[in-house]
Chain A
């Protein structure tokens, strides 16, 4: 059921705004805004920041995806509240130590952050939304994400499967 709702939401989003859903773009805005505040001089001589700032009239946080992701936080929180799933936990399987889980989450996040820049979007912005508008690039990225994950899954099985169960 959630699958159809998600599909319809994406369709409505495209019909209203002409663009799809996303997530990693907000991280990009966040990074540019942080660097522009902490080291304004540095942003001037780096092409990546100047290009982004030029596209956003020097207010990197005034970006559609930043607002959308703020909504995602609210929506997920409401959902967790009504379904009684709010709790502060570090989720992992028993055979993995907390330290390992923290490091893998950080590395995984960093890889996703880096990859989403090259892929011009993540699972939502490039793969899902790209598929909806039949973008060739979006579908290539989608296949690479899932294909890559399957190809690498075996090497990291100890992070997710433990002997005698799952």
Chain B
């Protein structure tokens, strides 16, 4: 599951990846003709909209890709960097950049490309960029209020507008198609002839349709996570789920079974107060994330879901089995039964059958040894490392 940094690709290797991605980025920008200011500002005077079209097509291609990858559980969207929103700073900054664009004729990325192929004006623009950042750095106390005002956090547009991701992406695509058509028309009016760069038309049409269909698919195919969470509530009774008996779990704990992995579904507060050895805390939602996937995919582990009662345990088992993981079981009667019958074992009457006698003997041992185990596990337990959002941005 993505993102691959920092687990599959370490932080040092990530710098090599950065150079490779940069090479591709620079190559594509230069090939698209972004290394000349005349072409870049063309969109503001109506004679060349290439930049706008490339920009929106690229943005929407990536956006639909990100939504689709998240939708099918291939990318953990809670870990990717979402540019934070500071309303006034974003607006004022954008306007200043717009002004810089029509005066200077470049933006930072394209100026670097143009400078690389020898455009002197671009080199001066890059130097100007340093000057601009320096002015901001020195004037920081003065800018700070504006810079930090109206902090909305890492919000996304569909949060702000209250629509679903799919519908939103679909709307954006429709808007881009409209803009594409409109700009081509304006260009033809201003220049008196067709833009030859839009050939062959069939290729563009084909790619456009592909994107459109992918967008449609994400709207009409329900999101895996939402679907599973909804199903988990109703489907549990019909599913056959392996159950770990309370005595078996107690035995495995006393035995310090290295294969045992407990996933505790209670809320963090309860988990903090009391938890069994070898257990990790996840909510049902978090089972879809990258952290849970790391633990669930370890081979040869026997996973036991625990919660206060069996209802949540069954939901979790259902979801995780649907996600394709095996060797899962739930705790018989939940933690409440485990506490009552094992940790606070209080025999009622004399055990009669041989089996009852064995159980009684075992539970007497468990009640003496388990609390110490739980205590020492709590002390030695490393604080849970949670993957955090990648830090990005300029």
Contact = CB atoms under 8 A, between A and B. Distances in A.
A136 B105 contact: no
Contacts of B101: 108, 112, 145, 148-149
B95 interface: yes
Contacts of A74: 19, 22-23, 26, 116
A93 B121 CA distance: 12
Interface stretch (B126-134, B229-237, B352-360): B126-134
Interface in A1-31: 1-25, 27-28, 30-31
A144 B98 contact: yes
B129 A24 contact: yes
B94 A141 contact: yes
Nearest to B138: A46
Contacts of A27: 108, 126, 129-130, 133
B61 A109 contact: no
B97 A148 contact: yes
Contacts of A115: 92-100, 132
Main secondary structure of the interface of B (DSSP, over half): helix
B220 interface: no
Interface in B37-63: 37-38, 41, 44-45, 47, 52-55, 57-63
Contacts of B134: 31, 35, 113
Interface stretch (B140-148, B259-267, B301-309, B313-321): B140-148
B107 interface: yes
Contact of B98 (A2, A76, A152): A152
B203 A136 contact: no
Interface stretch (B82-90, B272-280, B335-343, B369-377): B82-90
Interface string A52-94: 0001000000101101111111111111100101111111110
B58 A4 contact: yes
B181 interface: no
Given A13-B21, A46-B138, A132-B62, A148 B96 contact: yes
A102 B121 contact: yes
Nearest to A12: B21
B121 A124 contact: no
A68 B18 contact: yes
Q: Which residue of B52, B59, B168 has the most chain A CB atoms within 10 A of its CB atom?
A: B59
Contacts of A83: 30-31
B250 interface: no
B100 to A, nearest CB: 3
A64 B23 contact: no
B3 interface: yes
Nearest to A66: B18
Contacts of A131: 59-60, 62-63
Interface string B1-45: 011110001000011111111111111111110011110010011
A124 B109 contact: yes
Nearest to A8: B61
Contacts of A16: 2-5, 9, 17, 21
B136 A67 contact: no
A68 B27 CA distance: 12
B156 A148 contact: no
B121 A92 contact: yes
28 contacts: A7-B61, A7-B65, A15-B69, A16-B21, A17-B17, A35-B137, A46-B140, A72-B109, A72-B112, A88-B120, A92-B121, A105-B122, A111-B103, A112-B100, A113-B128, A113-B130, A116-B108, A117-B133, A118-B90, A118-B143, A119-B96, A126-B393, A132-B65, A137-B90, A141-B94, A144-B92, A145-B107, A160-B45
Given A16-B2, A27-B129, 6 more contacts: A3-B57, A10-B59, A71-B22, A78-B23, A119-B94, A148-B99
